[in-house]
Amino acid sequence: MAKEPLRTDYAGELSAARIGDTVRLAGWVAKRRDHGGVVFVDLRDVKGIVQVVIDPDAIPAAHELRMEYCISVVGEVRARMDGTENPDMPTGAVEVGVAEVTILSASDPLPFMIDDRADTEELIRLEYRYLDFRRPPMAAALRARGAAVHAMRTTMAEAGFLEVETPTLIASTPEGARDMLVPSRLRQGDFYALPQSPQLFKQLLMVGGVDRYYQIARCYRDEDFRSDRQLEFTQLDIEGSFWTAADVQAMIEKAVAASVKAVRGVELPIPLPKLTYAEAMDRFGSDKPDLRFGMEIVDVSSVFAGTEFKGFGGALESGGVVRGINAGALGFSRSGLDGLVSDAQALGAKGLAWLVLEEDGTWRSPIAKFLSEAELAGLVERFDARPGDTVLLVADMAKVAGAVLGPIRLQLGKPEGHEHLAFTWVTDFPVFDVHDDGSLAPAHHPFTQPVSLDDMVERPETAIAQAYDLVLNGSELGSGSVRIHDPEVQAKVFEVLGISHEEAQSRFGWFIKALRYGTPPHAGFAVGVDRLLAILLERDSIRDVIPFPKTQRGIDPLTASPTRVTDLQLRELGIDLRPEVKARLTEQAPGD
C-alpha cells in the first residue's frame, strides 16, 4: 500500500488562491504561541513560513511542540480573521487549520535563536553550522551560491566549454603560497601537495587538444587567514586554446554578469572598464583599486619644481615625487589631522603634509608659510580644491607615495556596504616582483607569457606580462594570463628567475616535456567564487558565504579539526614529531 507523502506543498508558497484546499506541510517549528484554547505555530520550510493553528484539546501533540521540532501537519488553508493578517509575511493573508500533527523529530534546547535578529558569536554558529543554515542569512547565502555557480556552469556550457576535473593530489609546485602537503604511506618520505590551482593541468588539457576547459575547482593554500582568505576555497577556472587576453576577458565577463543577474537580479553592463597596472598604481596606489569613489592620487611634482621648501625639494632632487589626494571636507581637528600623519608614518612615509582650504581662499597648514603663492595656487588648481577641502601630500619615492596614499585613500573614502558594483580589469602587470635585495619572483606565476621576450631578458625589472586581474570594489576576484606555450621561452623565464636547468627538470620536467609536443597558444583565468559572493551579498567575510569554513586560526569548530592522530598512523607514514612538538602536545589538551 502506498504511503501518504510527507509534504504536498511548501509552507512559504501558500496564498489566498489555495483557500479551502487540504494540504500536508513539513518543516520546523519557528515559533509557538499557546493562547489557552488554541496553539499558534509558525511552520518554516525552505520556501518560507506560514501560520498553522492547532486545537490542543483535539490534538494533544500540540503541547509537546518546541522550537525547531521537525513536524508534519495536515490541514485546510483558510483566510485569517479580519485584523489578524500579517502584511510583512508573503503568506500573511492565510493560515492552516490543522487536523493532524506528526512529530518527525524532536530538538534539544537551542544554542542560539534561529532567526536573523539574534547576534550570535561566530564560533558558536560554526560549531552548530547545521543550525546556522536554518537562519535566514546563511540560507540566503547557500541559495545565492547555488544560483551563482549554476549561472557560471550554464554560461560555460552554452559557450562550448568542456568541464574536466583535475587531480587533488599533485606534485608540489611554486605558485606564490605555501603548499598544503599530504604524506604518502606507500612512499614514505614523499609528499603530495593539494593544488593551489589547477594551473599546470589545465595547460596540459590545452596540449591535449581540449579547446575550451572549465571547472568549479577546489583550491588549497597554506597562508595566513584574512576576511577574504581561507585554507581552501572555490574558483571558476577556465582555459582556452588559440585565445588572446581579450577572448578570456570577454568570456569571464559573461560568466560574472550571469552570476550578478542570478544573485542581484541586475544586468551588469559589459564590456567592463580597463586600467593598466601602471595607471592603477599611479591613480589609486593599488593594483586592486576601489572605483566606487574618486579621491584619485594626483602628481604635483611639477608644482614644486624648484621649490625652496626642503621637505619637497629634497625628495624631488633624490628622484622622488610629490603626490597627494583631495580628501574632501573632512572637518578634522588638528589632532585628527596629526593622526593621519601618524598613519602615514606607520605605512612607511617620512611624513604627511596636510593643508585645509579656508573660506577666504587661504590654506591652513603647518607648511603653508614655507610655500610660495604660485605653489599654493597650483594646489588649488591641480586638486580642484573647494573651501573646506583637505589636501594630503607625500614627498618620497613614487613606490612609497603610492603605498602610503593608497591605504589612506581607502581609509577616508571607502563607502559603507557594497551596494554599488564597480568592476574593472587591471592589465599589463610586471612579469616579476622585485624584492628589496634585488631578487626576482613571478608577479603571477612562472608560466605567464611576457609581452616581449627581449625586454624580459634584458630589462626583467620593468618587463610587462600578458597578465590581467579582475577587481570588484577594491577586492581582487581573480587573475589570469596568456600562458607560455614555447618551451624555449619557458626555459628563459626559469633562467631569469635563477632556476637552474637541473632544478627546472626536477620540479617541472613532466610539464616542460609536454610543451614540446605541439602546444597551442592558450590563455585562461580563475574567478574566486567565495569573494564574488561575499561582495554581492554584502557580507564582511567569505566565511559567511562558505558552507563549512575555518576560523581565522584555521580551526573547524564543527569537527574540531585539525586533530591529533595516533602514533600508529604517524609510523605508517614514516613521520616522527620533533621533541619540542611532542612536549607541547603533552602539555595541551586536544583542540587547544
Question: What's the rounded Cα separation, in Å, for the pair 517 and 40?
Answer: 72
Question: What's the rounded Cα separation, in Å, for the pair 250 and 525?
Answer: 11
Question: What's the rounded Cα separation, in Å, for the pair 198 and 165?
Answer: 9
Grid cell locating 403: 603605498
Measure the N-to-C terminal CA separation of the chain; round to a whole number of Å.
55
Question: What's the rounded Cα separation, in Å, for the pair 15 and 533?
Answer: 32
3-state secondary structure of 283: helix
Q: Which fold has domain 294-413?
A: Gyrase A; domain 2 (3.30.1360)
φ, ψ at 453 (rounded to 5°): -65, -40
Cell 506560514 appears where? 50
List beta partners, residue 561: 556
Grid cell locating 460: 626583467
Question: What's the rounded Cα separation, in Å, for the pair 380 and 386?
Answer: 8
CA 421 to chain centre: 14
Question: What's the rounded Cα separation, in Å, for the pair 484 and 448?
Answer: 6
Residue 417 CB neighbour total at 10 angstroms:
8
pLDDT at residue 4 in the model: 80
pLDDT at residue 592 in the model: 59
Domain 11-105 belongs to what architecture?
A: Beta Barrel (2.40)
Question: What's the rounded Cα separation, in Å, for the pair 51 and 56?
Answer: 15
Grid cell locating 62: 500540540
pLDDT at residue 418 in the model: 57
List beta partners, residue 583: none
Question: Among 399, 421, 423, 538, which Cα is nearest to 476's?
Answer: 423
Q: What HEC string does 494-548 produce?
A: HHHCCCCHHHHHHHHHHHHHHHCCCCCCEEEEEEEHHHHHHHHCCCCCHHHCCCC
- Give residues with Cβ within 8 angstroms of 373, minimum separation 6: none
Question: What's the rounded Cα separation, in Å, for the pair 409 and 289?
Answer: 10
Domain ranges of the chain: 11-105, 139-277+423-544, 294-413
Fold match between domain 11-105 and domain 139-277+423-544? no
Question: Among 29, 24, 26, which Cα is nearest to 62's?
Answer: 29
Question: What's the rounded Cα separation, in Å, for the pair 184 and 158?
Answer: 40
pLDDT at residue 175 in the model: 60
Question: What's the rounded Cα separation, in Å, for the pair 352 and 332?
Answer: 15
Residue 127 CB neighbour total at 10 angstroms:
17
CA 520 to chain centre: 32
- Do residues 259 and 148 touch, judged by C-beta distance below 8 A? yes
Whether the bond between 520 and the residue before it is cis, its omega within 30 degrees of 0, is: no
- Do residues 177 and 445 touch, judged by C-beta distance below 8 A? no
Positive or negative: CA dihedral 494, 495, 497, 500: positive
3-state secondary structure of 71: strand
Q: Which fold has domain 139-277+423-544?
A: BirA Bifunctional Protein; domain 2 (3.30.930)
pLDDT at residue 44 in the model: 97
CA 351 vs CA 354, 398, 400: distances in Å: 10, 14, 11
The series of mean pLDDT values per 10 residues for the chain, 592 residues long, is 82 96 97 91 96 95 96 97 92 96 96 84 95 95 98 98 96 79 94 94 96 97 85 96 97 98 96 97 96 96 94 95 96 94 95 96 95 96 96 96 97 80 97 86 90 92 96 96 95 90 88 95 97 95 95 92 92 92 79 58
Instruction: Let me know if 429 is exposed, middle or buried by CB neighbors in 10 A (0-12, 13-18, 19+).
Output: buried
CA 312 vs CA 220, 298, 300, 323, 353: distances in Å: 46, 15, 10, 10, 10
Q: What is the DSSP string of 234-266?
A: EEEEEEEET--HHHHHHHHHHHHHHHHHHHH--
φ, ψ at 144 (rounded to 5°): -65, -40
Grid cell locating 72: 508534519
Whether the bond between 562 and the residue before it is cis, its omega within 30 degrees of 0, is: yes
**Rg of the chain over all Cα atoms, to the nearest angstrom:** 30
Question: Among 369, 364, 360, which Cα is nearest to 333's?
Answer: 364
pLDDT at residue 1 in the model: 45
Question: What's the rounded Cα separation, in Å, for the pair 151 and 257?
Answer: 9
Between strands 22-34 and 70-79, the pairing is antiparallel
Q: Side by side, which strands form the sheet with 274-276?
A: 162-163, 212-220, 232-241, 522-528, 475-482, 467-472, 423-427, 274-276
